[in-house]
Structure 1
Amino acid sequence: MPETLPIAGPMLGAALTVVGLLISWVVWRRRGAASGLRGVAWSLLPLAAGLMGLMTILWRLVADLFGFFVSLVFNPVVWGGVAVAALAVVLWVAGGVMKARGVGVRKGGETAAAEKGRGPAAGIGAGGGAAGAAGAPQSGQSGQAKGGKQGTKEQTGGDEDFGEIEDLLRKHGIE
């Protein structure tokens, strides 16, 4: 088969050129010489590619892609690869969603302190003075003393959204 591939490229290029020249003739008759000449120029490119050997490369590429898709349909090992690739995509998207929500992200020293002060208790107590500032570290400490259950809820942002919503409602005079 490799002996026939060098002749297949120029033959394929010539066939595509003939089809393109027929289309260019129709375009020349309907739209004029300028459009027809541009069509002839485009039509000669497959022949040039075939004579340079590029059409042989394209032929091999198409044959390899066809062989890949045929093996994809009939080979269970390839389906396993597709399943692993799909799992990788799902994990990538899930990690991005978790990172956007702040779930499972380790904070630096200053960032963690800022996040504790920005919790729901600080948002509610912000108008009341020091009560909100004193309430946030206590909830974080008590959560660590109880095994991290309450601290984990604060890190996941479960009530943080409601605190922000309540602040917005108060800002607009809705209570």
Structure 2
Amino acid sequence: MSKTVTPFSGQLITFSTSVPFAEVTARLEAAVHKPAASAQWFPTMRAAKSKEDVAKGLHDIIGDDDFIYFLQLPHNWVNFYKPGTGSVVVYVIGNPVIAQTMMVEDIRASFNIPPRVLVVEKENGAGTEVHYHLPSAVYAISDNAALKAAAESLDGKLEALIRKVISESPDSSSL
């Protein structure tokens, strides 16, 4: 038996907006195709027999978008322990076609794939904070250049998604 400890450090990205929590979560759920994904994704994956089936099934649900909804974990129970805590939910989103570009390079990247996005209502409902771990900081724990490049590409895609759903400009509400 052997044991290895591999140190790595992560980066927590935080975006803050005056957009209300309910609007941010509605935009995020629309952007990651929650209704269609909830109904279709897992049956699609169970039926998949090849990487082509995975790619086609994904495209059938999200088109040319980058992310699909997998699940969400509401943490509103924290209010029992700290009254006044706003709404809190963790979304698990991803894209298997993007994920495989990292997982084939280092299977340990799977530990943090798919990405999670924490959406927190600010005190007194004064807006929303969105947090996530920077993919390139937590996926690329080796010196693998291909893995690092794929994770950095995901960094940009995830940031673009979050900027879109928290935008304070009126046109972003038509996700």
What TM-score, normalized by structure 2, do the two folds share? 0.23
Larger radius of gyration: 1
**Larger relative contact order, structure 1 or 2 (CA cutoff 8 Å, min sep 6):** 2
What TM-score, normalized by structure 1, do the two folds share? 0.23
